[in-house]
Structure 1
Amino acid sequence: MSQETQQSGTPAPPVPSREEARARLDTLKEWLDARLEPLLEENEVPGAAVAVCVGDKVIDAAAGVLSTETKVEATTDSVFQIGSVTKVWTATLAMQLVDEGVLDLDAPVRTYLPDFELADDKAAATVTTQHLMSHTAGFEGDFMTDTGLSDDCLEKFVATFGTIPQLFPPGERFSYNNAAYCLMGRLVEVLRGQPYDVCLRRYLCEPLGLTHTATGPYEALMYRAAVGHVRHEPGAPPRPAAIWATVRSNAAAGSLLAMRPRDLLAFARMHLADGVAPDGTRVLSAESARAMREPHVDLPYLGFMGDHWALGWETFDLPGGTVVGHDGGTVGQGAFLRVVPGRDVAVALQINGGDPLGLYVEIVGRVLRDLAGIELRPLPKPDPDAPRIDASRYVGTYTATAGDTVVSQDADGRIWVERRPKGVFAQLDRQAERVELLPDREGTLIAAVPEMGIHRLFTFVGDDGAGRARFLHTGRADRRADA
């Protein structure tokens, strides 16, 4: 069941004609120029840039500053990190290899990387590139091992996968997996015989004619580059993060790639045109571009996230039509990309800290409504009068490499969650926190207070054989640790 049918339906607006949508871009540009700066202030976002297109007609806008320390103003040519939106680029590089007959999505990864290992050898022998693309590989995915800055850093990183635990057999369910995309980046390197960032530039950036895109910090310095901002203490205003980016070994999953919104839209427009770049260059076959948008796995109810995952893209069944997209978050930077196939509409929103959801709802919501006749679903909100429930199925400790999550219920029947970051995640300005949870629907609890503008959902799936949830799902499936 899609999340659209799970929630009370919001009526879809009328779908404008292509000519009407193009004409509305001018009005949208005036609105962005007037409204973007106040939106930043309302949501404590230091700086942002946005670009919108209907076909080949593109508008953009920017406001705020790239750093609250330097006060350098954000412009439409400023580059922001796109974070995990990079994953769609990595999937596109892999699909180009499919077009060339070099890569078979259904063949085991070991066909191309014979030395590939996981803690579970059976899983390592059967996991395929399709599993990697759709986040169904089943192994834990949040690793940021620093293997240096040299061109062999990704090769070295993948060589450490032999200790990664398996959560479930490949193909069984969805669990967002950064490491899987790093592995796919390594596949691209091996089959191309070139480092990942060279492949990005040669097979995507250059054919797309991108002029303000950086595959790493050394290139980003050539442009007006945004700095990420984080809240160093709860309730404090966003301040520049201690680092600009994380490790190069995670570049294929989204640790480094930065660009201006217009460049990100050029990539989106290529996908809207079924593989043809804005200047007419064929970058990807029409068959592969369409295959990347076809749902491959259903997602559990996760609120802000989509309904399905395809081959790289996330898909949303919204009132009025289907939208594909991807979000990205790095150290204090964020990106939202939404694409409406068949209606030639796309929007890229990039920010450098604060609470981005307010901007997303107003800007992306207006774009989809006015230009594509599609309405966003309301963000999930808790019911403060929800009755107390027996949470024994949910109570326990759930573990992952990034941290442990403890769900408890006190003597008054109130439910609490405490997240305790571990390793590198404990060093990235993240602190342990304890939040009350309220019942939302069967199998799902919702945070009583918002975080970065959204009330997080905690969905419990599977069974441990004793009537308790096997996984706590927040996009990642964290396994139960207590016996």
Structure 2
Amino acid sequence: MTKLDELGAWLNDRLPVLLSTHDVPAAAVAVCAGTEVIDAAAGLLSSATGVAATADSVFQIGSITKVWTATLVMQLVEEGRIDLDAPLRRHLPEFCLADEAAARAITVRQLLSHTAGFEGDIFTDTGTGEDCLEKYVTQLGDVPQLFPPGDLFSYNNAGYCLLGRLVEVLRGKPYDDCLREHLFAPLGLTHAATGPAEAIMFRAAVGHMRLAPEADQEPAPIWALARSNAPAGSRLAMRARDLLTFGQLHMNAGTGSGASTVLGPGTIKAMQEWQVELPDLRVLGNAWGLGWELFDAPGAVVIGHDGNTLGQAAFLRLVPERRVAVALLTNGGDAYALYRDVVGHALAELAGVDLPAPPVPPADPPRIDGSRYVGVFSSRVADLRVTQDDDGRIWVETRPKDVFAELGEQGDCKELVHFADDTLIPLKADHGMHLPHVFVGDDGAGRARYLHVGRAMPRADG
């Protein structure tokens, strides 16, 4: 047996056990080593219907969609129709923000690398029509600028909606049609859906959520978020093998079936080049490229992206120099722990790459002066209130807002302890991970200007 065959046997044996261990209703996995591919699936697509997952089941891929959007943009760069360092307004003159100077200056490169600097979690629902992205762009005029364009990384969903609209304008057709014609068709994808009307034609996974902290998981109240956020990851769904095929395009530098009509090797290489360094969050990559997350893992460079939607989580990892790739799709539970067990095992066995140890709180954290960190940090979708009690313990209270509050997401309060310079970490894990909270900058009074948790959340208490 080859190592890939051995991994296939391991998946068939261990995946059902790991789903039970991590309370994940269902998962699908696809793995390649060189030109050989295996896939596997287990569990239930919905606890309400009892339909079993198969390797051909489609799951939402969430924000991995951003790499698909970036690929559509880079096709236009190859054609000479987009200059990465030209202002977005060259093609979208209607683009406005609350900060007019920033709106005039923001470039396509900054949008691709999440350095544009404006509030990014904008989930405005502009309907289900083919003009939803066009309408979405007109709704950004009051969106604040958090920092000057290019100064910092801050994950930005709205920026990718703008990129999707850019593709629409230059192609003269809706975003979904661009996906089908410029990616699905040349890559030969057979189980991919741009939204629920297509997904229902396959065995489709339903996300599962806990609508209260101690409640059991249940099917999510809706299947997908607004169509206006499709280029950022609100709707795209597919089987694991089709996601892997897309990954192979980027891993094999544009070679393989259909790849020559998608992107050239120079463009693929450019997408994987370091654009911006991230704060030391430990659960994200070390840097971001043009769409891709970049991981400096022990043993080799790993590229990838994750995705989270309503109760579904997806993971894609590529090790180009070893020609190994893994796609994992899930529909609830402790997906991050399952990722570490499944993707971690596959990368170690096939590529000799060990995932970095996840961040965990120290066994005996020191008490510190939290005055630099105390305060309220705010975004469109949540407020985070950091306090320090009389015993010197530091707490962060999360209060969901906007669409997440409407969907019934519950707030919580967690204790934070010292982890590293200007970094605190929760004592209690959330969805299998302890996400470091990095405090960045200075507000002029010795307090942190931003709380960075992947997004730079600005201080909102003066």
Report the TM range for the smaller structure's normalisation: over 0.9
The corresponding residue for 1:99 is: 78
Shift of 1:277: 4.1
Residue in 1 that maps onto 2:305: 326
For residues 266 and 63 of structure 1, the distance between their equivalents in structure 2, rounded to whole angstroms, comes to 21
Structure 1 residue 303, shift from structure 2 partner: 1.7
5+ unaligned residues in a row in structure 2: which ranges? none
Q: Report the equivalent of 2:132.
A: 153
In 2: Cα distance, 1:343 partner to 1:363 partner: 18
Residues 57-456 of structure 1 aligned to structure 2 (within 5 Å): 57-279=36-258, 281-456=260-435
Match of 2:451 in 1: 472
Cα distance in structure 1, aligned partners of 2:421 and 2:407 = 34
Do residues 43 (structure 1) and 43 (structure 2) align? no
- Write the letter of the residue equivalent to 1:204: L
- 1:280 positional shift: 5.3
Residue by residue, what CA displacement relative to the aligned partner does 1:199-244 show, whole Å, maximum 9, x if unpaired? 0000000000000000010000000000000012213221101000
* Matched-pair contact (CA < 8 Å) for 1:146–1:248: yes
Deviation at 1:179, TM superposition (A): 0.1
| Paired residues of 2:94 and 2:137 also in contact (CA < 8 A) | no
Give the distance between the partners of 1:116 and 1:274, measured in 2 at CA: 34
Q: What SS does the aligned partner of 2:246 have? A: helix
CA offsets, 1:431-454, max 9 Å, x none?
111111111011110001011111
Alignment partners' CA distance in 2, 1:304 and 1:378: 9
Cα distance in 2 between the residues matched to 1:245 and 1:383: 38
1:399/1:480 contact within 8 Å kept? yes
SS in 1 for 2:268: helix
Say what the alpha-carbon RMSD is for the aligned residues.
Answer: 1.0
- Give the residue type in structure 2 aligned to 1:290: K
Quick one: which amino acid aligns to residue 382 of structure 1? P
User: Tell me, what secondary structure is at the counterpart of 1:40?
Assistant: helix
Conservation of the 8 A alpha-carbon contact between 2:328 and 2:339 = yes
Alpha-carbon distance between aligned partners in 1 of 2:76 and 2:124, rounded to the nearest angstrom: 27
Q: Deviations over 1:421-472 (max 9, x none)?
A: 1111112231111111111011110001011111121100011111110000
Deviation at 1:173, TM superposition (A): 0.4
SS at match of 1:61: strand
Task: Give the CA deviation at 1:387.
Answer: 1.2
- State the secondary structure of the residue aligned to 1:161: coil
CA distance in 2, matches of 1:222, 1:396: 49
Distance 1:265 1:384 in 2: 39
TM-score (norm 2): 0.99
Partner AA of 2:60 in structure 1: Q
Q: CA deviation at 1:40?
A: 0.4
Separation in 1 of the partners of 2:415 and 2:123? 29
SS at match of 1:206: helix
Given that residues 114 and 154 in structure 2 are in contact (C-alpha distance below 8 angstroms), is that contact kept between their aligned partners in structure 1?
A: yes
**Structure 2: distance between partners of 1:155 and 1:275:** 31
Q: What SS class does the counterpart of residue 163 from structure 1 fall into?
A: coil
- Tell me by how many angstroms 1:143 deviates: 1.0
How far apart in 2 are the matches of 1:108 and 1:281? 29
Q: Deviation digits for residues 9-55 of structure 1, max 9, x if unmatched?
A: xxxxxxxxxxxxx9200000000000000000000000000000012
Q: Deviations over 1:88-120 (max 9, x none)?
A: 000000000001001111000010011211110
| Contact 1:299/1:309 (<8 A) preserved | yes
What percentage of aligned pairs have identical amino acids?
60
Amino acid across the alignment from 2:172 = G
- Asked whether the equivalents of residues 40 and 54 of structure 2 are also in contact (C-alpha less than 8 Å), the reply is yes
8 Å contact kept, 2:212–2:409:
no
Instruction: Please give the TM-score of this superposition, normalised by the length of structure 1.
Output: 0.95
Partner of 2:153: helix, strand, or coil? coil
Alpha-carbon distance, 1:341 to partner: 1.3
Q: CA deviation at 1:279?
A: 4.7
Any runs of at least 4 consecutive aligned residues in structure 1 with deviations exceeding 4 A, and if so which?
none
Residues 207 and 277, structure 1, Cα contact 8 Å, conserved in 2: no
SS at match of 2:321: coil
1:292-350 Cα distance to aligned partner (Å, 9 max, x none): 00010000011211100000000000110110000000000010000111211100000
Any idea what SS the aligned residue of 1:398 has?
Answer: strand
2:124 is paired with a residue whose SS is coil
Please report how far the alpha carbon of residue 181 of structure 1 lies from its aligned counterpart in structure 2 after TM superposition.
Answer: 0.2
